[in-house]
């Protein structure tokens, strides 16, 4: 039997040169599923994305999803893509196993946790205050630089990483320190500033979370002293203060200390971000 992709409707184009199209997955011309393909200009030229790959229940466990994914890679290669990005829900064990078999590498994961009704207090000597406008300007420049570097270190071209960082910060903090739904805090310990927190509450967040930690940063000279944990406790307290129940965050897979911290606090994966270079 032959598994192929059959276009569903015309190809769509965006002003920035992006393209996308939906396809039926067919076996001997019989539809058995669907998949969406697109380019992802926010991750630089050559980035393609496979999303929404679905195979009908009665046609699963026959290798058709794998063949469809390979066919999708060929389409994206024909579009000039040099790497592919996908996201896989943590609950989709079969999809994750298929991605592993096809050579995809995990870059990052989204974690979440239902915050206790009464989160623990900050450790003795630690306190938090709202970030002021002057502090915000210095923090913003450092945050944008760190965020861009986190992507370049994981295979995204520098120009694209910097553009993504600028765009993400501009969209998420349109009114700076006064942005609605943005919680920007400075953590101090025994009178010395130890770190910063950026928490968002409200719309525009990943599915199934009410609040999201976009950034926690501990002063380089004070790392390894538990302030990262204090910042996360602060995030949980701010989450509850805003009336939110489920707190989410992103962590890059290679950041082992951060992963261990979040796991120790009870955060669990909900979504994996994976990528694969195209030869």
Q: Of 64, 81, 98, which residue is a domain's last?
A: 81
Residues 161 and 50 in one domain: no
When pLDDT is cut at 50, 70 and 90, the band that residue 1 belongs to is: low
Residues 52 and 185 in one domain: no
pLDDT in tens, 252-262: 999 999 999 99
Residues 64 and 196 in one domain: no
Which structural domain range is residue 50 located in? 3-81
CB atoms near residue 257 (< 10 Å): 10
Domain count, the chain: 2
CA neighbours closer than 13 Å in the CB half-sphere of residue 114:
1
pLDDT in tens, 148-198: 998 888 778 899 899 999 999 999 999 999 999 999 999 999 999 999 999
Q: What percent of the chain has pLDDT over 90?
A: 87
The pair of structure tokens assigned to 73 is 């890679």
pLDDT in tens, 80-105: 999 999 999 999 999 999 999 999 99
In a domain, 143, yes or no: yes
Residues 118 and 160 in one domain: yes
Residues 73 and 196 in one domain: no
For tokens 């979440």, the residue is 112
Residues 118 and 245 in one domain: yes
The pair of structure tokens assigned to 145 is 């630089």
CA 5 to mean position of chain CA atoms: 28
CATH number at residue 257: 3.40.630.30
pTM: 0.89
> What's the rounded Cα separation, in Å, for the pair 179 and 173?
6
> What's the rounded Cα separation, in Å, for the pair 197 and 217?
7
């Amino acid at each position: 039997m032959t598994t192929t992709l059959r276009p569903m409707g015309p190809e769509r184009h965006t002003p920035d040169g992006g393209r996308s199209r939906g396809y039926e997955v067919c076996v001997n011309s019989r539809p058995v599923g669907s998949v969406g393909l697109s380019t992802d200009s926010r991750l630089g030229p050559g980035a393609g994305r496979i999303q929404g790959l679905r195979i009908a229940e009665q046609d699963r466990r026959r290798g058709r999803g794998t063949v469809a994914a390979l066919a999708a890679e060929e389409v994206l290669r024909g579009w000039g893509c040099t790497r592919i990005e996908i996201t896989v829900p943590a609950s989709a064990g079969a999809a994750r196993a298929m991605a592993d078999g096809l050579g995809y590498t995990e870059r990052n994961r989204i974690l979440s946790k239902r915050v206790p009704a009464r989160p623990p207090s900050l450790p003795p000597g630690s306190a938090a205050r709202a970030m002021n406008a002057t502090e915000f300007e210095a923090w913003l420049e450092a945050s944008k630089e760190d965020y861009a570097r986190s992507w370049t270190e994981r295979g995204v071209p520098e120009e694209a990483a910097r553009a993504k960082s600028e765009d993400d910060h501009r969209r998420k903090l349109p009114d700076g320190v006064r942005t609605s739904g943005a919680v920007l805090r400075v953590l101090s310990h025994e009178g010395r500033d130890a770190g910063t927190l950026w928490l968002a509450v409200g719309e525009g967040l990943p599915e199934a979370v009410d609040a999201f930690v976009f950034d926690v940063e501990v002063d380089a000279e004070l790392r390894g002293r538990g302030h990262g944990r204090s910042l996360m406790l602060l995030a949980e307290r701010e989450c509850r203060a805003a009336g939110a129940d489920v707190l989410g965050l992103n962590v890059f897979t290679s950041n082992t200390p951060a992963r261990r911290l979040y796991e120790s606090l009870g955060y669990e994966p909900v979504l994996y971000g994976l990528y694969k270079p195209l030869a």
